[in-house]
């Protein structure tokens, strides 16, 4: 009772990355294992291997060892003079705003004495500026999206200048607190 057993083919596909002339390339290796008779106790298996060509150019997956464009060594290079002037002015504006928020603490005793104010008025002269800044910040954010950031910044700087001039010209503590709100 010798029945012929049909040969069975098993395929194994192995993908590797090989170095070609330039960048690394994706290569695929296909191996076919043909088992003729599983009842054969010799354990012979015929094996053939075929190397498949690289995928077409559109589908090819390339892996570069180095980036195609070299990294800039200086992160500040490539920026225009106009950029640096605008950046410097923004930093200066942020510095002046922060300075105005905290400088009142050092000058407050002299200002309160000169304008004949009370301790409660001295407290409100510092708090009024921070309260007004907190309330107007979301408004200025919305206005910058509507009218543009440049116009909004210019308006804010002019308004800050007006408030500073009013503070310097104050004759009473109430006028000083109102000027700090501006």
pLDDT tens digits for 94-104?
Answer: 898 888 878 88
> How many angstroms separate the CA atoms of 35 and 5, rounded?
10
Residue 111 pLDDT > 70, yes or no? yes
Question: Is residue 168 in a domain?
Answer: yes
State the pLDDT at residue 92: 92
- The reply to whether 90 and 45 lie within a common domain is no
Contact present, 157 and 97 (Cβ < 8 Å): no
Tell me which of 33-37, 99-103, 113-117 is least confident.
33-37
Question: Is residue 72 in a domain?
Answer: no
Q: How many domains does the chain have?
A: 2
Q: Of all helices (H) and strands (E), which one includes residue 179?
A: helix 173-181
Question: Is residue 50 in a domain?
Answer: yes
State the pLDDT at residue 130: 84
Residue 85 pLDDT > 70, yes or no? yes
Contact present, 84 and 140 (Cβ < 8 Å): no
- The reply to whether 45 and 96 lie within a common domain is no
> How many angstroms separate the CA atoms of 111 and 129, rounded?
15
- The reply to whether 130 and 173 lie within a common domain is yes
β-pairing, 24-35 vs 62-63, is: antiparallel
Question: Is residue 132 in a domain?
Answer: yes
Name the residue with higher pLDDT: 125 or 8.
Answer: 125
Q: DSSP letter for 43, please.
A: -
Question: Is residue 64 in a domain?
Answer: no
- The reply to whether 94 and 172 lie within a common domain is yes
- The reply to whether 114 and 35 lie within a common domain is no
- Model confidence band, residue 133 (pLDDT cutoffs 50, 70, 90): confident
- The reply to whether 115 and 174 lie within a common domain is yes
Question: Is residue 1 in a domain?
Answer: no
- The reply to whether 23 and 87 lie within a common domain is no
- The reply to whether 40 and 112 lie within a common domain is no
Domain that holds residue 136: 81-181
pLDDT, tens only, 48-76: 555 555 555 544 455 555 555 666 567 66
> How many angstroms separate the CA atoms of 52 and 32, rounded?
13
> How many angstroms separate the CA atoms of 122 and 127, rounded?
9
What is the C-alpha R_g of the chain?
Answer: 39
- The reply to whether 88 and 177 lie within a common domain is yes
Question: Is residue 165 in a domain?
Answer: yes
- The reply to whether 39 and 89 lie within a common domain is no
Name the residue with higher pLDDT: 156 or 12.
Answer: 156
Using alpha carbons, list the distances in angstroms from residue 71 to 30, 65, 67: 39, 14, 8
Q: DSSP letter for 122, please.
A: H
The model carries a pTM of 0.52
Question: Is residue 74 in a domain?
Answer: no
State the pLDDT at residue 59: 47
Structure tokens at 23: 């960048």
Q: Of all helices (H) and strands (E), which one includes residue 86?
A: helix 81-114
- The reply to whether 91 and 164 lie within a common domain is yes
């Amino acid at each position: 009772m010798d029945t012929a057993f049909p040969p069975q083919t098993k395929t194994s596909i192995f993908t590797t990355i090989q170095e070609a002339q330039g960048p690394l390339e994706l290569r695929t290796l296909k191996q076919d294992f043909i088992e003729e008779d599983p009842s054969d106790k010799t354990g012979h298996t015929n094996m053939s291997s075929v190397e498949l060509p690289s995928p077409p150019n559109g589908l090819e997956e390339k892996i570069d060892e180095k980036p195609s464009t070299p990294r800039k060594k200086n992160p500040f290079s490539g920026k225009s003079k106009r950029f640096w002037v605008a950046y410097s002015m923004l930093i200066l504006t942020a510095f002046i705003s922060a300075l105005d928020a905290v400088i009142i603490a050092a000058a407050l005793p002299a200002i309160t004495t000169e304008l004949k104010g009370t301790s409660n008025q001295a407290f409100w002269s510092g708090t009024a500026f921070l309260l007004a800044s907190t309330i107007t910040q979301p408004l200025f954010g919305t206005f910058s999206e509507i009218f543009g950031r440049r116009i909004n910044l210019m308006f804010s700087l002019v308004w800050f200048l007006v408030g500073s001039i009013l503070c310097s010209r104050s004759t009473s503590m109430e006028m000083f607190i109102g000027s700090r709100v501006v």
